[in-house]
Amino acid sequence: MNFDNLPKIELHLHLDCSLSFDVVQKLKPGISRQEYEKEFIAPENCSSLDEYLHCAQAPISIMQTKDQLRMVTLDLFDQLKADNVLYAEIRFAPLQHLEKGLSAPDVVAIVDEAITTGTEDTGIEAGLILCTLRHFSEEQSMETVKLADHFKGTNVVGFDIAADETLPIDNHIKAFEYANKHGIPCTAHAGEARGADSVQEVLQNFYPARIGHGVRSIEDPTLMAHLKEQNIHLEICPTSNVQTGIYTSVRTHHINTIYENGNSLSVNTDGRTISNVSLTEEYEKLNHFFDWNLEHFLRCNIYAIDAAFTTDTIKKKLRKKLLEDFDLYQKED
C-alpha cells in the first residue's frame, strides 16, 4: 500500500527539529551531508531524552534572524506538501531565538507571517503553538503564554510545555492558569521520559486538552479510561518514541493498543529531521507492524481534526477534503 498521496493531519511538529538538508545548506554553506546527519539527526537509539533534545541545538543556532526563521518555516511547508499534509500545527519556543537581537514578539511575528505565506503558496492550513520549556523560569513561561495571548487572531493557536519532563512543573503552573483563563488552547508534553504519573501531573495542574506523546498512559488503566472519558487527545510520535528509548522498535510500540482502547490519538513525526522520518514513513511502519489500513488512518486523522486548535470553519473544510481524498485514494488503489 502506497501512502504518499494519502491526505494527512499533523498536530505534533517541532519547527526547530525539522530543517531539511537543502535549507541547512543555504544557512550553513559548505556543510556536508555527513556533517548534517551528525549534527541534526538524533541517533536511532538515544541513551536518553536529553541526548535526543541535544540535537535541537544545532538548528536553533541558525534560526536567529528574520531571514533564517522565514527560510526554515517555508522549507517546512515544502516538506509538508511533499507528504500531502492538509493541516499542521507547528510548535517552537520563541525565547530560544533572541541571540541576534530579535525580540520575542519579532520572532513570533516573523514565523506567523511565514506561515501565512506558506499557506498561500501551498494551500496547507497551519497553526502555530508557542512552547515554554521545563527548564524555563516562571517569568519566561509567563512571557511565552502572554505572547500567545497577544497574537490571538493570527496563526498562533495554542500553548505548550516541552523539553525534559523529568524537571518539576512549579515554574509553569501560573502560565497554564493564565492560558486557561484567557481561552488559549493548551497541550503539554508528558508520558514520555516519565511514566503515567507525569500525565496525571499535567492534567491536574495544567488542564490541557491534549497530551504531547502520552504513550506511557497505557501503564495506568484508570488514567487511560479518564483520557477516553474526557476526550483528551494523545499526539503520538512512534519513531521518536523509539529513539528516546521508550520502545525498542516501532514493533513493540503501544499505539495499536491505545487505538483499540478507543482513545483519541493522532500519528505525528515530532521532528522530521531529528527523527529522520516523514509522516508517510510513519504510516508505512504502522501498516507493516500492525497491519493498519485506510480505516485506521482515516479515524486517526478525524481524531486529529476534532482535536485541532483551529476554527470550526477550517475543521469542516478539512473533514470534507479528508473524506473526499480518502474516497478517491481508495478508488484508485
- Cite the active site residues: 192
Dihedral over Cα of 300, 306, 307, 310: its sign? positive
Interacting residues of 173 by C-beta distance below 8 A, sequence separation 6+: 205, 206
Which letter does DSSP use for residue 210 in this model?
A: E
Q: How far apart are CA 85 and CA 13, in angstroms?
A: 12
Question: Cα–Cα distances in Å, from 315 out to 7, 53, 111, 225, 301?
Answer: 14, 32, 22, 26, 11
202: left (phi over 0), alpha (psi -120 to 50) or beta: alpha
Give me the helices (H) in the chain, please: 21-27, 33-40, 49-54, 57-61, 66-82, 104-122, 138-150, 173-181, 196-206, 221-229, 238-243, 255-260, 279-290, 294-307, 312-332
Q: How far apart are CA 183 and CA 202, in angstroms?
A: 18
Query: 3-state DSSP call for residue 252?
Result: helix
Q: What nine digits make up the cell of 87?
A: 493541516
Q: What nine digits make up the cell of 32?
A: 556536508
